[in-house]
Each structure stands twice: as C-alpha cells, then as structure tokens.
C-alpha cells in the first residue's frame, strides 16, 4: 500500500457529505468513489468532489480494486449487513455510530473484522476531539482526584430528527435519542474514564410528544422535512443510571421534552476538583489552591474532530497500529444501549452478571 488509502463512501446523506469533506482534508486519505441508492444525492456529492466512479448498488463499489476502505453512513439497521459485506470483500471499514442496532450484531461485526484481519473503526468522533483528550489526560494525571460521579445531559427542547422517516422508526433506527445522541456521550465518558467495569444499568425511555406526528410542534429538525404519514415509535426522552466499578453515572437525554432548556454537557466530579465538558465547545476546570477556589478554561478552540478521525483511520490502516475508535473499544457503549433498552422494556435494573 502507498502512503494513502483509497476510500469509497457508502451513503451520501448528511453524514456521507461530512465524510467526503473531511476525507478531502485528512492526511493519508484519497476519495475514489461513492455509492447511494438515491441517484440525486449521489450525483450531488460526486459533482462536488469531482468523482468519476459512482454506484447505485454498493456491492459494485466493493469490487473496485482501488478502494482500500469504505465509510458506512447509512440508516442504523444497515450498518451491520453493509459492514459485513465490505469485510467479506476484504475492505477496511469506517462505520458510523451506533455500531449497530443490537449488541449481538456489533459482536458479529467485531468477529468478522478480526477473522478477516481488517480494520473496523467506529465514527465515535469525540474520541478525536481535542477537549475530550485533554480531559482524559487531566483525569488520568490524578489532578482532580478520584472521579466518583459523572452526570451527563444531552437535552434539547424540540429537536426530533427526521420525524416519520428512518430516525423515528424502531425497525430501522433501533431506538431514539439514546441510540442516536446518547451513544456519543456514553462512549466519550467511557473513553475518558478508561472503560470502568459496568455492574448494572437502569433506565427509562419515553415516547410521548410525537405519538401523533402531525401534532408535534418543532423549532428545528435534522433530516427534515417531516413525513406525517410515517411512524414514530422510538423514545424522544431517556434517563437512567449506570453503576460501574468506578464512578456512578447518571444521564438525561431528550430530542424533545416540555422544558425549554438546551443542556449538552458532561460533569466529572472528582475529590479534588471537577470538570464540565461543554459538548463540542471546550471545558472548564473547577479547583482550589491554598488561597482560593478557581475556574480555568482553555482559550484555544478544538481542531476539526471529523478531519482528525479520518487522518487517524488512514494512519491505523496504513500502519496496522490500533485505533482509539476500533470496534472493540466502542463495544462497552453499545452494550449499555442494549441494557438501557432492556431495562426500559422490563421496568427493572439490568445487572451485567445476570
């Protein structure tokens, strides 16, 4: 292999376009081809990036020998089958989060990558965010003492995405706000904490605000416009707790709820200090010295984490070195999603050792 990898994009929707833009700027990456079942979005992306090779069936893209690796940016229920097909064709894979709609599928994907000796990296982009890595180093240095509690908020007022499309259809999305936004937060917390052993998860999801999609009023919508004849059978609200062998973790998330507050942060409470990560927007350290309590906030903005993750992907494919977002690293977050949904369904705490 040369000093760059040839990449094919599978899925030219919102994230597929972000993939293409990031690949174009990332070291070690060369965009070669794209595939999508929607001719319109496929042509638009190909034109913008000067791509000559486009495919309406991704199987044809997988036969292209110039393609070393593919990105998978399609609805969640297609992550597993498309990733398995790509691995079978001996391609390395960058698959978007969540890994899959179930932990069982995620394990199948990990096993297939291992058997084929191909890299399978997940798009948990926060692992490539400067702020997240700075916090990880501070926590590991012991500067804020033992972290005993983590509080996670991922709440919006009126932001159900793609109402009536695949995002709100359990058979295609696997779940709602927890699998869509929660996975990012849970994964970054486990990354920072060094994956403490999970003892139990207890949680509850609610699907109340768009039971009749036509009555749901909104301010913004990712993947608009709404399809009022589609289904909405996933949770737009989620809350719960995760007991670990390390810190106690609680979370509250809402694509939408009836309190107008946007709260996107993670608090790490340590015995000697605390850190609030403002999601996507830096962090504040709370500490004290002999004289006074203080608050410190880095001034420098993060570099583009999406570009970083593709540079990291290419580097690990080229060198064979581990990637911080290898599927094995992300499996604990996927397991927590499964335990959350089981807990919500069964109305009880789910223990890891059951």
Site residues (CB under 6 A) for ligand NAD? Answer: 10-16, 35-38, 41, 58, 73-76, 78, 96-97, 123, 125, 180, 223
In whole angstroms, the minimum distance from the beta carbon of 123 to ligand NAD comes to 4
In whole angstroms, the minimum distance from the beta carbon of 108 to ligand NAD comes to 17
- Closer CB to ligand NAD, 57 or 146, in the complex: 57
Asked if residue 278 lies in contact with residue 287, where contact means CB atoms within 8 angstroms, the answer is no
In whole angstroms, the minimum distance from the beta carbon of 78 to ligand NAD comes to 6
CA distances from 133 to 11, 45, 137, 265, 298 (A): 29, 32, 6, 15, 13
- Closer CB to ligand NAD, 73 or 182, in the complex: 73
- CA nearest 163: which of 203, 210, 129, 114? 210
In whole angstroms, the minimum distance from the beta carbon of 274 to ligand NAD comes to 26
- Closer CB to ligand NAD, 21 or 139, in the complex: 21
Q: Which residue is nearest to ligand NAD (CB)?
A: 13
Lookup: tokens for 242: 């995760």
- Closer CB to ligand NAD, 57 or 233, in the complex: 57
Residue 260 exposure: Cα atoms within 13 Å on the Cβ side: 3
Q: What are phi and psi of 206, to 5 degrees?
A: -130, 140
Contacts of 217 (CB under 8 A, 6+ apart): 158
Contacts of 290 (CB under 8 A, 6+ apart): none
- Closer CB to ligand NAD, 11 or 213, in the complex: 11
In whole angstroms, the minimum distance from the beta carbon of 84 to ligand NAD comes to 13
- Closer CB to ligand NAD, 31 or 78, in the complex: 78
Contacts of 162 (CB under 8 A, 6+ apart): 168, 221, 222, 223, 224, 226
In whole angstroms, the minimum distance from the beta carbon of 72 to ligand NAD comes to 8
């Amino acid at each position: 292999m040369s000093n760059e990898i040839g990449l094919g994009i599978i899925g030219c929707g919102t994230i597929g376009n972000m993939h293409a833009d990031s690949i174009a700027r990332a070291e070690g990456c060369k965009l070669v081809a794209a595939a999508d079942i929607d001719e319109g979005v496929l042509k638009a992306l190909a034109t913008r990036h000067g791509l000559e090779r486009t495919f309406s069936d991704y199987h044809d893209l997988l036969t292209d020998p110039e393609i070393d690796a593919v990105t998978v940016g399609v609805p969640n229920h297609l992550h597993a089958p498309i990733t398995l097909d790509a691995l079978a064709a001996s391609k390395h894979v960058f698959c978007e989060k969540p890994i899959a709609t179930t932990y069982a599928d995620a394990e199948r994907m990990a096993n297939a990558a291992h058997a084929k000796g191909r890299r399978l990296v997940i798009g948990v982009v926060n692992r490539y965010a400067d702020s997240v890595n700075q916090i990880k180093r501070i926590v590991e240095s012991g500067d804020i003492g033992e972290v005993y509690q983590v509080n996670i908020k991922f709440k919006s007022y009126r932001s159900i995405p793609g109402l009536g499309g695949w995002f709100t259809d359990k058979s295609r999305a696997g779940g709602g706000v927890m699998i869509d936004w929660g996975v990012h937060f849970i994964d970054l917390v486990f990354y920072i904490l060094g994956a403490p052993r999970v003892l139990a998860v207890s949680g509850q999801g609610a699907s109340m605000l768009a039971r009749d999609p036509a009555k749901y009023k909104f301010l913004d919508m990712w993947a608009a416009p709404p399809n009022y004849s589609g289904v909405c059978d996933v949770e737009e609200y989620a809350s719960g707790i995760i007991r670990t062998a390390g810190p106690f973790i609680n979370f509250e998330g809402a694509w939408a709820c009836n309190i107008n507050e946007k709260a996107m942060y993670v608090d790490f409470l340590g015995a000697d200090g605390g850190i609030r990560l403002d999601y996507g927007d830096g962090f504040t350290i709370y500490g004290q010295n002999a004289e006074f309590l203080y608050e410190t906030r880095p001034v420098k903005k993060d570099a583009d984490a999406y570009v970083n993750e593709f540079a990291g992907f290419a580097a690990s494919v080229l060198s064979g070195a581990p990637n911080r977002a290898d599927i094995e690293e992300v499996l604990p977050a996927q397991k927590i999603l499964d335990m959350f949904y089981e807990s919500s369904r069964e109305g009880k705490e789910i223990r890891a050792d059951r």
